[in-house]
Amino acid sequence: MKRETWIGVATAGLAVAAMAVDHLFGTEDGEEGTFADPWVFLGTSVGALVLTTLLFRFVVQSDDPLRAPTRAIACGLLAVLSLPLLFLAVPFPFAGAAVALGLIGREGRRRWLAGAGIVLGAVVLVLGAGAYTFELPA
């Protein structure tokens, strides 16, 4: 598999794992041993998988090193702007696409712009994963 495909698969896996932590583990009604929101988990996971597939199929795979840096920045900015929708897994696909496009763009002339796209995407992925990994004290 190509590098971009691996990034897409990892991004989708991270999004589904985050949605499992957010919507399955723990309970809302106080009963132990039950899933909190299985239907919400299913819906957000399918949405994240569809968005990841669309981005990696039509934006990432069809790009060349000359246009990739601009698209990496655009996806990175969309990932940052969609952080309030983290509970719906929206930032993950955009962040993964920004990283993949940035790596493609590093082969072109605007390496610094491609690097900025990689950094934006990576920061959102780390923040998103960290939000579901570490519990902040009340």
**Global pTM value:** 0.89
What is d(CA 82, CA 122) in angstroms, rounded to the nearest whole number? 14
Q: What is the pLDDT of residue 137?
A: 55
- The pLDDT tens digits of the residues spanning 1-54 come to 789 999 999 999 999 999 998 888 754 555 555 567 889 999 999 999 999 999
- 79 closest CA partner among 102, 58, 108: 102
Report DSSP letters for 20-44, one per residue.
HHHHTSS-SSS-TTS-S-HHHHHHH
At 114, the amino acid letter reads A
